[in-house]
Amino acid sequence: AKAGFAMAVQSAAITGYMILARKPPQWLLSPALMAISAGIVPSLCCIPPSWLTTWAGPHVGLFSGLQDIPGNMLAMLIYSQIPLVVKKRGWKAVLQLYALQVGLGACCMAAFQLLEASRPMEGSPFLMLETSGGGQAKSLFED
Protein backbone atom coordinates (compact mmCIF):
# COMPACT_ATOMS: atom_id res chain seq x y z
CA ALA A 1 0.00 0.00 0.00
CA LYS A 2 2.83 2.41 0.86
CA ALA A 3 4.59 1.72 -2.43
CA GLY A 4 1.42 2.32 -4.43
CA PHE A 5 0.72 5.53 -2.55
CA ALA A 6 4.26 6.81 -3.18
CA MET A 7 3.98 6.07 -6.89
CA ALA A 8 0.53 7.66 -7.17
CA VAL A 9 1.33 10.95 -5.47
CA GLN A 10 4.68 11.33 -7.14
CA SER A 11 3.02 10.69 -10.50
CA ALA A 12 1.03 13.85 -9.78
CA ALA A 13 4.29 15.77 -9.34
CA ILE A 14 5.72 14.33 -12.56
CA THR A 15 2.56 15.37 -14.40
CA GLY A 16 2.81 18.87 -12.94
CA TYR A 17 6.42 19.27 -14.08
CA MET A 18 5.60 18.00 -17.57
CA ILE A 19 2.68 20.46 -17.82
CA LEU A 20 4.98 23.35 -16.82
CA ALA A 21 7.61 22.22 -19.33
CA ARG A 22 5.10 22.70 -22.16
CA LYS A 23 4.46 26.39 -21.35
CA PRO A 24 0.81 25.89 -20.38
CA PRO A 25 -1.90 28.55 -20.39
CA GLN A 26 -1.95 30.68 -17.27
CA TRP A 27 -5.02 28.96 -15.82
CA LEU A 28 -3.05 25.68 -15.59
CA LEU A 29 -0.12 27.13 -13.61
CA SER A 30 -1.73 26.93 -10.16
CA PRO A 31 -3.08 23.37 -10.59
CA ALA A 32 0.31 22.20 -11.92
CA LEU A 33 2.19 23.78 -8.99
CA MET A 34 -0.30 22.30 -6.52
CA ALA A 35 0.15 18.85 -8.07
CA ILE A 36 3.93 19.19 -7.77
CA SER A 37 3.68 20.31 -4.15
CA ALA A 38 1.25 17.56 -3.20
CA GLY A 39 3.27 14.95 -5.05
CA ILE A 40 6.66 15.64 -3.50
CA VAL A 41 5.57 16.21 0.11
CA PRO A 42 5.47 12.50 1.06
CA SER A 43 9.08 12.10 -0.04
CA LEU A 44 10.24 15.22 1.75
CA CYS A 45 8.49 14.09 4.92
CA CYS A 46 9.67 10.51 4.66
CA ILE A 47 9.83 9.01 8.13
CA PRO A 48 12.76 6.69 8.78
CA PRO A 49 11.61 3.08 8.72
CA SER A 50 10.46 1.72 12.05
CA TRP A 51 13.49 -0.53 12.37
CA LEU A 52 15.77 2.50 12.37
CA THR A 53 13.90 4.33 15.09
CA THR A 54 13.44 1.12 17.07
CA TRP A 55 16.97 -0.23 16.97
CA ALA A 56 19.32 2.71 16.52
CA GLY A 57 18.71 3.95 20.03
CA PRO A 58 20.49 7.19 20.90
CA HIS A 59 22.16 7.25 17.48
CA VAL A 60 18.96 7.45 15.42
CA GLY A 61 19.60 11.12 14.58
CA LEU A 62 23.12 10.34 13.40
CA PHE A 63 21.97 7.52 11.12
CA SER A 64 19.06 9.56 9.77
CA GLY A 65 21.44 12.40 8.90
CA LEU A 66 24.11 10.17 7.39
CA GLN A 67 21.65 8.52 5.04
CA ASP A 68 20.84 11.97 3.58
CA ILE A 69 24.43 12.88 2.71
CA PRO A 70 24.69 11.05 -0.67
CA GLY A 71 21.38 12.49 -1.87
CA ASN A 72 22.30 16.00 -0.78
CA MET A 73 25.68 15.76 -2.53
CA LEU A 74 23.98 14.58 -5.73
CA ALA A 75 21.41 17.39 -5.49
CA MET A 76 24.20 19.93 -5.06
CA LEU A 77 25.94 18.59 -8.17
CA ILE A 78 22.73 18.63 -10.22
CA TYR A 79 21.69 22.11 -9.10
CA SER A 80 25.13 23.50 -9.87
CA GLN A 81 24.53 22.52 -13.52
CA ILE A 82 21.10 24.18 -13.84
CA PRO A 83 22.42 27.55 -15.14
CA LEU A 84 24.33 25.73 -17.88
CA VAL A 85 21.28 23.65 -18.83
CA VAL A 86 19.07 26.76 -18.94
CA LYS A 87 21.60 28.56 -21.15
CA LYS A 88 21.93 25.64 -23.59
CA ARG A 89 18.44 24.08 -23.62
CA GLY A 90 16.07 26.36 -21.69
CA TRP A 91 13.78 25.87 -18.72
CA LYS A 92 11.84 23.08 -20.45
CA ALA A 93 14.87 20.79 -20.04
CA VAL A 94 15.19 21.71 -16.36
CA LEU A 95 11.52 20.92 -15.67
CA GLN A 96 11.85 17.62 -17.54
CA LEU A 97 14.93 16.83 -15.43
CA TYR A 98 12.92 17.53 -12.28
CA ALA A 99 10.18 15.19 -13.53
CA LEU A 100 12.80 12.51 -14.15
CA GLN A 101 14.27 12.98 -10.66
CA VAL A 102 10.86 12.65 -9.03
CA GLY A 103 10.12 9.54 -11.10
CA LEU A 104 13.41 7.88 -10.17
CA GLY A 105 12.88 8.83 -6.54
CA ALA A 106 9.39 7.34 -6.61
CA CYS A 107 10.76 4.08 -8.02
CA CYS A 108 13.46 3.92 -5.34
CA MET A 109 10.99 4.69 -2.56
CA ALA A 110 8.48 2.14 -3.84
CA ALA A 111 11.18 -0.52 -4.18
CA PHE A 112 12.36 0.14 -0.64
CA GLN A 113 8.81 -0.03 0.73
CA LEU A 114 8.18 -3.32 -1.11
CA LEU A 115 11.43 -4.82 0.18
CA GLU A 116 10.73 -3.69 3.73
CA ALA A 117 7.18 -5.08 3.57
CA SER A 118 8.32 -8.43 2.18
CA ARG A 119 10.92 -8.99 4.91
CA PRO A 120 10.42 -6.60 7.80
CA MET A 121 13.41 -6.07 10.03
CA GLU A 122 12.85 -8.09 13.18
CA GLY A 123 16.21 -7.63 14.85
CA SER A 124 18.65 -4.84 15.26
CA PRO A 125 21.08 -4.26 12.40
CA PHE A 126 23.21 -2.43 14.97
CA LEU A 127 23.77 -5.40 17.25
CA MET A 128 26.29 -8.15 16.83
CA LEU A 129 26.88 -11.32 18.77
CA GLU A 130 29.98 -11.57 20.86
CA THR A 131 31.88 -14.78 20.30
CA SER A 132 32.58 -15.00 24.01
CA GLY A 133 30.25 -14.39 26.92
CA GLY A 134 27.59 -16.96 26.14
CA GLY A 135 26.41 -15.43 22.87
CA GLN A 136 25.07 -12.27 24.48
CA ALA A 137 24.13 -9.56 22.00
CA LYS A 138 26.23 -6.44 22.38
CA SER A 139 25.66 -3.13 20.68
CA LEU A 140 28.29 -1.97 18.23
CA PHE A 141 28.33 1.29 20.18
CA GLU A 142 28.96 -0.14 23.64
CA ASP A 143 32.45 -0.25 25.05
- Concatenated DSSP letters for the chain? -HHHHHHHHHHHHHHHHHHHHT---GGGHHHHHHHHHHHHHHHHTPPPPHHHHHHSGGGHHHHHHHHHHHHHHHHHHHHHTHHHHHHHH-HHHHHHHHHHHHHHHHHHHHHHHHHHHHS---S-TTEEE-SSSTT-EEETT--
Distances, alpha carbon 117 to alpha carbons 1, 10, 110, 114, 126, in Å: 9, 20, 10, 5, 20
Quick one: pLDDT at residue 89? 95
Quick one: pLDDT at residue 131? 43
Confidence tier at 61 by pLDDT (50, 70, 90): confident
Confidence tier at 86 by pLDDT (50, 70, 90): very high
Distances, alpha carbon 111 to alpha carbons 6, 104, 115, in Å: 10, 11, 6
Q: Is the pLDDT of residue 138 over 70?
A: no
In the predicted model, what is the mean pLDDT of the chain? 78
